[in-house]
Amino acid sequence: MKLSYDISDFKATKPVVLTQGTFDGVHFGHKKILRKVVKQAKEIGGESILLTFYPHPRLVLYPDDNKLKMLSTIEEKVKKVEELGLDYLIILPFTKELSRLRADEFVRDILVEKLSISQLVIGYDHRFGRNREGGIEEMLNFANVFGFEIEEIPAQDIKESTVSSTKIRKALLKGDVGLANQYLEENYKVTGKVEQGAQRGTSIGYPTANLRVTSSYKLIPLNGVYAVWVYVDENRCGGMLNIGYNPTFDDKAWSIEVHILDFEKNIYHKEITIEFIDRVRDEQEFKGIEELKKQLKEDEKRIRDVLQS
């Protein structure tokens, strides 16, 4: 897959089959669209393209009043798209100037003149142009005017619930990583660097790695204890993850800490990836260290069972 941050770098040499959008999380529904783009391009001997935007439009349009957290960093998005077999990923810098383009100007100036599209594949709820004024009806009219084909992909459902990035964010913020993983068609991941913490875990037999998440916009699931896989230097290990304030120790600072099972290496300053499997319980305040240690042993047993299953 060829990656470009400059749309002027692209020169069409074959028929272009394209889809566009933010594609945050590259979830089940997104993958359906992208696989269709790849299939259509192969059938006509063309090139498959995703045109996406960075930063997310809401982060640009509402920088001072925006609590939006993202399911995927731009690096994670690139990796997921590449795995689906697209020929090109074009990441268009989203600016206020771009946001002011009318729907017809966006189609004419970007999709037709710069990308020379032959076919456009879009989701059922796709909106584009200034103030999101363009939808499927407008795009069908533009297709007739500019001479390209269009295909609409209907809503993708799992257990009668339409998949969307918003629903995945809500599931994670409720701690329902199982539902989020279903929608994503893979397990939710968070990457960060290991920093030195208070080192209390070592004294009670559960040393933890404190994780500083690399991206400030990455969504972190609800506080609590989770069964996770931890990827260190391409090795996968089981882990007990706690997100929150460690109320037993009256901590004021929020943290992400993971105890890696059956692991004793020094990983300070290393980058690790956490893969969420299940939420085990809420974060709790215990009366003392012994009560906490007893609960941690119960958590460990349950988490080992979850990961083995």
Which domain CATH number covers 20? 3.40.50.620
Tally of CB atoms within 10 A around 205: 11
pLDDT of residue 158: 46
Question: Tokens 């040393």 belong to which residue?
Answer: 207
Q: Is the pLDDT of residue 296 over 60?
A: yes
Domain span holding position 58? 2-156
In a domain, 207, yes or no: yes
Q: Mean pLDDT for the chain?
A: 91
pLDDT band at 233 (very low <50, low <70, confident <90, very high): very high
Residue 138 CA, distance from chain mean position:
29
Both structure tokens of 70: 């993202």
Residues 43 and 152 in one domain: yes
Question: Tokens 């996968």 belong to which residue?
Answer: 236
Q: Is the pLDDT of residue 203 over 70?
A: no
Domain stop point among 141, 156, 171:
156
Residues 16 and 93 in one domain: yes
In a domain, 38, yes or no: yes
- Three-state secondary-structure class, residue 214: coil
CA neighbours closer than 13 Å in the CB half-sphere of residue 32: 19
| CA-to-CA separations, 298 to 8, 120, 208, in angstroms, rounded | 57, 53, 17
In a domain, 80, yes or no: yes
pLDDT of residue 201: 63
User: Pick the residue with more confidence: 201 or 220?
Assistant: 220
Domain stop point among 156, 173, 206:
156
Domain stop point among 156, 176, 196:
156
d(CA 240, CA 225): 7
Q: Is the pLDDT of residue 215 over 70?
A: yes
- Per-residue pLDDT tens over the stretch 245-280: 877 776 678 999 999 999 988 999 999 999 999 999
pLDDT of residue 156: 61
In a domain, 173, yes or no: no
In a domain, 179, yes or no: no
pLDDT of residue 140: 92
For the chain, how many structural domains are there in total?
2
Residues 6 and 147 in one domain: yes
